Amino acid sequence: MQKAGVFPLITINSVLLYLLAYVFLFLLTRMSTAISASAFNIPSLIYYFDTDFLINSHSWNAESVVAVFSAAPLISLFMALALIELYREIVQFSGIAEIFIAWLIILCMGYFAGELIIGAILNRGFGHVMKYWCIMDTGRMTFTLLSGFVLIITAKGLSRVLLCSANVYFNDLKGKLKLKFAFCQFILPFIIASLILQFCELPKFSFYLFAARCTLVIILLPLISRSFTIPDLYFDEDPRTPSFSKSLAVITLLALLVYRVVFGIGVRIM
């Protein structure tokens, strides 16, 4: 397959893998929050758009707030760090699994940043922890700006290795194709998958989730800027035969059905 003709396939596969990684991270973070709550005998009801804690608001204390609302962002951070090391090991092998891991890294970083940045601004999620730590508005703004700056620096450092996922489709990535690949592998799938998720979540709409999801832009933009400056990438000479995976499409569809239908009804923990 010629390079010019493979880009629609890159976008389709990346959209499917983004959605699959999103549902996986959703399950991981929501379950970690629910399990942390159960340690304090707090029942929870998990929806795709929110988590209800089935206790009176006056029953919360500082320890339970910190544990419950810190669990998901911390799990997400540790998972991102572990996946970065794993990705560095497997990126030399061309396989669609590395694209899934690349999206998990981006989503984990985005979730962690979203909890810190959007949570602090809207007083949701990790913002409750800041409230119990008595961090005032100036401190929250400083914390938010610092988190965004660290995220940009981290994303810029990861840009080159994430662009190496091109080895799934190509033997090399040179010139203007670097920018086109970055757009088709990351930017366009992010936009399309976000629209699909917003449609799946109708009629509910959570501005908090929408805003947190948009923090991924902070990670993805350095990929575009770096695609102009990094040297050409050369991989092995083994022939590539990329194709559309029907099994991946089916698995992703089933994951979305679980996300929308099962967690639309709600899953109670404890």
The pLDDT profile of the chain, 270 residues, written as one tens digit per residue, is 456 578 899 999 999 999 999 999 999 999 999 999 999 989 999 999 888 998 887 778 888 888 888 888 889 989 988 998 888 887 776 678 889 999 999 999 888 888 888 877 777 777 777 776 666 667 667 777 777 777 778 777 788 888 888 888 888 888 888 889 989 999 999 999 999 999 999 888 888 888 888 888 888 888 788 777 888 888 877 777 778 888 999 999 999 999 999 999 999 997
User: Tokens 């709550």 map to which residue?
Assistant: 37
Give pLDDT, residue 97.
86
| Domain range annotation of the chain | 3-29+68-265
pTM: 0.91
The residue among 80, 161, 68 whose CA lies nearest residue 113 is 80
Contact present, 244 and 13 (Cβ < 8 Å)? yes
CA distance 164 to 216: 19
20 touches 256 (CB < 8 A) = no
The pLDDT, as a whole number, for residue 163 is 85
What's residue 135's pLDDT?
A: 65
Question: 172-173 and 233-234 as β-strands: parallel, antiparallel, unpaired?
Answer: antiparallel
What is the chain's length?
270
Q: Cα 164 to the chain's mean position, in Å?
A: 19
pLDDT of residue 3: 61
Specify which residues 234 forms β-bridges with: 172
Cα torsion for 146, 149, 153, 158, to the nearest 10°?
Answer: 90
Alpha-carbon distance of 16 to 256, in angstroms, equals: 10
pLDDT at 12: 94
